[in-house]
Structure 1
Amino acid sequence: MIMRCADVSMSVRTITNGLKPLWAFSIAWILILSAGCSQAPESEHVAISGEVTLGGKPLPSAMIRFTPVKTEPGLHDSVTMISEGHFAFDSTNGPSPGEHHVIVTPLEPEMNEAVAAMQNGDRDPLNSRTIPARYRSTGQLKATIDAANVQPLTFELTKR
């Protein structure tokens, strides 16, 4: 149960009314300390990991974001990097339990890497790694995070 500070104060006055000052003071402190004055609970974080492929090959590098489908106080987005097709969150930065939209955002390759790819005959190295737009927004990919049954996640992206 979440109570605002004003609610706690009113409850303390009601309970301690008519008691001797020392007892009233003791009871008031116990109630205030046990109820607290927080606005919203901090949500749980779940350690998860997984892999992302594009066209059947591990996605070299990108960002992956888990956005809760429900918009409730305490729920948050979780973002981490994908490296060589793998990503991982620990219990301090992972997504909260529940259903999430999953968004995969490309990182721009370094210019030296693009020049080297062109020298090796790749016609369009910058676009060959581009993640299709349908994966860069909510709707296409979803994941349900279950704190009691954590399994590695796999997202298989297609180029077309």
Structure 2
Amino acid sequence: MTCRTLFIAALLMASLGGLCLLAGCGSSASAAPKLDRTAVSGVVTLDGKPLPGAYLKFVPLNKTPGFGGTAVTDDQGRYQASAGDGEAELAIGDYQVLVTLGAPPEDADAPPMPVSASGIKLPAGYGDSGRSPLVIGLQKDAGVADLELRSRP
């Protein structure tokens, strides 16, 4: 065998080896499992009255998959949650719900806003992940979660 023949054989072997390695690369439909999800909506009340302009954050608990979600209440206290990954529905599982008034803080470490523009006061504990008593469990097709808050515990 000549040097040229050996060179061509080595080049072909290297090319085939590279193609074999590349064949294993890429995404697979089974790589990211599809989450079981449900639509979540409800009414938030404070002392029995609708709570307008409240910002809700759904924080996954107990190994609940996904990124959680958010919602804002309308003037009747109604909300429709959306997931943090851009989906319209939240993953099935348990969530702690944090509630603040007005727009969410830009800084995640900022304290929650206890007073809305309309003068409604909300106990700061509802917006604190260490103190909020609001926990919901979402089941398939059971997406109504009304939240009853009290101004005094």
User: TM-score category by the smaller chain?
Assistant: 0.5 to 0.7
Matched, 1:142 2:135: yes
1:55-110: CA deviations, max 9, x gaps? Answer: 110002110111001357x6212111111210013572432111110111111544
CA contact (8 A) 1:43 1:75 kept: no
What residue number does 1:94 align with?
89
CA contact (8 A) 1:55 1:158 kept: yes
CA contact (8 A) 2:69 2:82 kept: no
Matched, 1:103 2:95: no
More helix by share: 1
Q: Any unmatched runs of 5+ in structure 1?
A: 1-23, 115-125
Matched, 1:59 2:54: no
The amino acid across from 1:86 in the alignment is R
What residue number does 1:13 align with?
none
Q: Distance in 2 between matches of 1:151 and 1:71?
A: 19
CA RMSD of aligned residues (A): 3.3
Q: Secondary structure at the match of 1:105?
A: strand
The amino acid across from 1:59 in the alignment is L
> How far apart are 1:25 and its partner, in Å?
10
The amino acid across from 1:101 in the alignment is Q
Percentage identity across paired residues of the two chains: 23
CA contact (8 A) 2:82 2:90 kept: no
Q: Secondary structure at the match of 2:38?
A: coil
The amino acid across from 1:141 in the alignment is L
Task: Evaluate the alpha carbon distance shift between residue 26 and residue 32 of structure 1 in structure 2; reply closer, same or farther with a 3 A threshold.
Answer: same
1:5-154 to 2 correspondences below 5 Å: 35=28, 41=32, 44=35, 45-70=37-62, 75-83=66-74, 84-89=76-81, 92-107=87-102, 109-110=116-117, 126=119, 129-138=120-129, 139-146=132-139, 148-154=140-146
Q: Secondary structure at the match of 1:153?
A: coil
Return the TM-score normalized by structure 2.
Answer: 0.60
Q: Secondary structure at the match of 2:125?
A: helix
Task: Evaluate the alpha carbon distance shift between residue 132 and residue 52 of structure 1 in structure 2; reply closer, same or farther with a 3 A threshold.
Answer: same
Aligned residues: 120
